[in-house]
Structure 1
Amino acid sequence: MQFIFEQIDTAGDRNFGYLIGDRKAKEAVIVDPSFRPEFIVRRAEAQELKVLFIINTHSHYDHTFGNTIAKRLTGAEIIAWQGSDSQKDIGIKDLTQIAVGDFTLQALHTPGHSEDHLVYFIPHYNVLLTGDHLFVGKIGGTKDKESAQKQYDSFQKMLHLLPPEATVWPGHDYGCRPSSTLYMESKTNPFLMARSLEEFYEVKDAWKAIKLRNGLV
């Protein structure tokens, strides 16, 4: 097996999409095709990979926009959270495993930014695709206090279940670099450093000032 992992600029609001595959098995998945599905499909074709699935981290338009085109070009099935209202062929639940060649992606339900949000972990390579749940130095926004509490609980679950050496690959290029590690985020990301739900709320309330102080955009 030769693991293929490509982080791809998919336009929009600094969106990232991903092509992940097994070169030996000639199988791949596309994660969040966004606004450049044709480009990701061409990358798969250039490497003679059959795209089995189009996987969405969540249902927001900037991540699902390319689903229909990617499906038409590849014949792949669309995977999303089982309770999502978005277009899908396969609905999955928490801890579902998706096989691609000799590796698997494990889905972890992480509601907060959206109710249907999933992150995907590839255990053999310690790769973590975080969508809009976790960015480098930031996190995805929430609409109210209830969703913020769900988001906090999702972070505690993720930090408990996943290894600190997991590499973090987000859905947008919002940070000072395009990727990170779970350990680095736990030590530098103000939201993950919060020691309680109350501190988490405080960081959210003070985020504009924190962002300015840290030189984030």
Structure 2
Amino acid sequence: MSRSSARHAPPHDDRRHTALVQDMSRLVRRALLDAIVELGDASRDCAALTVEPARVPIAPAHLAASHPGGPQSRHEARALYERCLAHYRHVVRASQADSSLDDVGAAVACFVAANLQALHGIDATPEMLLRLERQLGGVATLSSAWASASARERQLYFEQMAILAVLIRETSAHAVLQGPAAVENVRRAARRYLRQLLGLDPDQLTLDAGGLSLREA
């Protein structure tokens, strides 16, 4: 695995990654819609979608490359993203900390739950997260972009989901101490993230013991 920054990746690699993210978002949206309208069995047991961890994290440099400011600002952003990824692996997923593989579906579920928490104040229990993971179970195996993606591209996708899950949750917690304006800024970000991933109106969604569902009018 190259130690060079992801910002030096060829444009072709960026296009492939963009296509992967778009295809995964489409399939996540379809899986959740099926679960919401009970077209699929959300309680089914699916093999976890896993990837081998990169020897050196990829996403922190990739995300920091587009961070505003100069080299020092990007260096600080990269360090923050590295801490978020470590926090995800060793705190959020502490029970799987000894695993030699990263669970992609679990990272997507944590990402969705973190944004719903920021937006609606829903504090997901482990049981709720497990239900959401099952709603997403095996979805990426249907993705042609995932099937053709390199190990680096798959790991980049996982790391981004894990980092953003931690970042939005921690930012939301700090915003509560900073006041209503900060809280609203985080809510706008959460709403944007969910629209990008799910293509659904996040204000119409809720997470409970049954998993993700539509909010009652």
Please give the TM-score of this superposition, normalised by the length of structure 2. Answer: 0.26
- The structure that is strand-richer by fraction is 1
* TM-score normalised to structure 1 length: 0.26
Question: Higher RCO, 1 or 2 (CA under 8 Å, sep at least 6)?
Answer: 2
